[in-house]
Each structure stands twice: as structure tokens, then as C-alpha cells.
Amino acid sequence: MKINLGCLTDLGSHKSIKKQIELPDLINGYQEIETPFPLQINLDIYNTKDSFMLTGELTGRLLLTCSRCLDKFSFELKVSINEELLKSEIPDLENIDLTNIIVEHILLEIPMKTVCRGNCQGLCPLCGRNLNNVQCDCSREKIDPRLLKLKDFFSRDDD
Ligand SMILES: [Zn+2]
Ligand SMILES: [Zn+2]
């Protein structure tokens, strides 16, 4: 997303931007963040002495993958933006690219461990079925106890 601040030449001048933006899908480590819906950005921009101050909000919906059951789920995004762009670091006032700032704000908002719902049952470790949708007949008591410990370990910080 690019903005033009060429009109903000006077100290103290101000501009409001309300825009719908589309982003390509993002990758955060091993997490995939899909962006099938446009996001809404509302920004107030002020010309201060050495910089432009950007304050506002980014809202919208993302699609994330549950780390337990691997289903996709919708994630409500609502992020405050407070950024300062130093004038000395802006090569072209009429063509300022905010994409990196927007992406950074989104990535900070995504939890390390994405879960579709608090009580997600995950996948059966034996047959791989999604236990939110089906009860399989696998006798999970027969799992190697060392694996069970591992399972406890992975779900320790649930809820
Ligand atoms: Zn899930
Ligand atoms: Zn099973």
C-alpha cells in the first residue's frame, strides 16, 4: 500500500486516510496466514518537525490454520498502529510504501500457537481423523506411554 504525503509540506498539517487494502498471503515461520478478504486501514498522519506520525487502526479478517486439527479458521484482526516515519529516511514523499509496516503489525498480532477454538480436540494420533468432527474407534489407551507424555507436553499450555 502506497501513500502520497506530498501535500503535507507544512509543519502540523494533517491527513486522514481510509482505505481497503489487499495483501498477498503471508508466512510467519511455519505458519501460513491467508488474506482472502480485504483489510480496512484508517490512519491519521501528522507532519511533525522531523517525522510523520501515523496513528490509526487496521481491521479485517484473516484465515489461519489450527495447529492442532489443521483446519482453517477465521481470525478477527484489530491492530492499533503507532508509527513514526523519519523524514530523513523517506526517499519520495509522494510514494511511500507502508506494506512492510502493515505486515509487521499483522505478524505481531498472530499468536505463536494458533488454535481454532479453545477446546479443539485435534487429530487422532493413530488414524489422523479430525476429532472435532468424528469419534474414531482407535483405542488411544494403547499409545506408547512415552508418546502420551509428549502429548501432555504439547497441550500443557492449553486454555
Ligand atoms: Zn482445531
Ligand atoms: Zn483414530
Ligand nearest to the CA of 139: 2
Q: Domain locations in the chain? A: 2-109, 121-159
Ligand that lies nearest to the alpha carbon of residue 71, given by its number in the listed order: 1
Q: What is the pLDDT of residue 107?
A: 93
Cell of 73: 479458521
Q: Find out whether 25 and 32 touch, Cβ atoms under 8 Å.
A: yes
Tell me the residue type at 86. L
Q: Residue 123 Cα, ligand 2 centroid: separation in angstroms?
A: 8
* Cβ pair 15, 8 in contact under 8 A: yes
Q: What's the CA gap between 79 and 57, in Å, rounded?
A: 6
Exposure letters 16-41 (e unless 16+ CB within 10 A, then b): ebeeeeebeeeeeeebebbbeeebeb
Cα of 148 to ligand 1 centre, how many Å? 19
Ligand nearest the Cα atom of residue 113: 1
Ligand with the closest atom to the CA of 64? 1
H or E element in which residue 32 lies: strand 31-33
How do the pLDDT tens digits run along the chain, 159 residues long?
A: 899 999 998 999 999 999 999 999 999 888 899 999 999 999 999 999 999 999 999 999 999 999 999 999 999 999 999 999 999 999 999 999 999 999 999 999 998 889 999 999 999 999 999 999 999 988 766 556 566 666 666 665 555
Question: What kind and span of H or E run contains 65?
Answer: strand 51-65
- Give the Å distance between the CA of 88 and the centre of ligand 2: 60
Which of 78, 62, 72 has the alpha carbon at shortest distance from 120?
Answer: 72
Ligand with an atom nearest the CA of residue 121? 1
pLDDT at 139: 76
Ion ligand 2, residue ranges at CB < 5 A? 124, 126-127, 136, 138
The confidence score (pLDDT) of residue 150 equals 63
Which of helix, strand or coil describes residue 111?
A: coil
User: How far is the C-alpha of 14 from the C-alpha of 54, rounded, in Å?
Assistant: 10
Phi, psi dihedrals of residue 144, rounded to the nearest 5°: -45, 125
Confidence (pLDDT) at 60? 97
CA 120 – ligand 2 centroid, Å = 15
Q: What is the grid cell recorded at 114?
A: 494458533
CA of 119 to the centre of ligand 2 (A): 18
